[in-house]
Every structure is written in structure tokens, then in C-alpha cells.
Amino acid sequence: MIKVSKIRYYFERNGYEVCTRLADRLGMRVSRVRFFFVYMSFFTLGVWFSLYLTLAFFLKIKDMIYTKRSSVFDL
């Protein structure tokens, strides 16, 4: 039971960033975006989950490329 809680906590802490950023961009509530992804994952048997993982991958790449630097000497 403790391992399940640790796994759930890990995914709640690290996995919801895509939904949060997408909801901020669209001006929606985060819970509605999460419900959409969960329900569509069950409905379409994982197609939306793969879309979610693809979005997470591209957001991570974007964050790695476009980092804000405070000065010229931060290179």
C-alpha cells in the first residue's frame, strides 16, 4: 500500500504539469483539462494518453531550448 501511495504521489507531483500549462494557455480550469484527458484515455483506449506524453515531451524540449538568461555572462 505504501508503494502505491509513493507511485501516486510521484505522478501527481510530476505528471500534471502538462495539464496545468495547457489549462493556463487556454484559460480553463485545470481539473476540467485533467478530466478530459482521463475520460478520453478510457474512451479511445490510450490515444489521448499518447498525445499527453507527446505534449509532455515537447514541453520538456521547449523548456530545455528556451531558457531565460538574466545576463550575457550566463552562457
Q: What is the mean pLDDT of the chain?
A: 80
In this structure, is residue 73 part of a structural domain?
no
pLDDT digits (tens, 9 = 90+) for 31-67: 888 888 888 777 777 777 788 888 889 988 888 777 6
Percent of the chain with pLDDT over 90: 0
In this structure, is residue 72 part of a structural domain?
no
**Domain total for the chain?**
1
pLDDT digits (tens, 9 = 90+) for 8-32: 788 777 766 788 888 888 898 988 8
Task: Tell me how far CA of residue 68 lies from CA of 5, 57, 61, in angstroms.
Answer: 35, 19, 14
pLDDT, position 62: 84
In this structure, is residue 55 part of a structural domain?
yes
Domain span holding position 28: 2-67
- d(CA 40, CA 27) in angstroms, rounded, equals 20
**pTM confidence score:** 0.49
In this structure, is residue 49 part of a structural domain?
yes
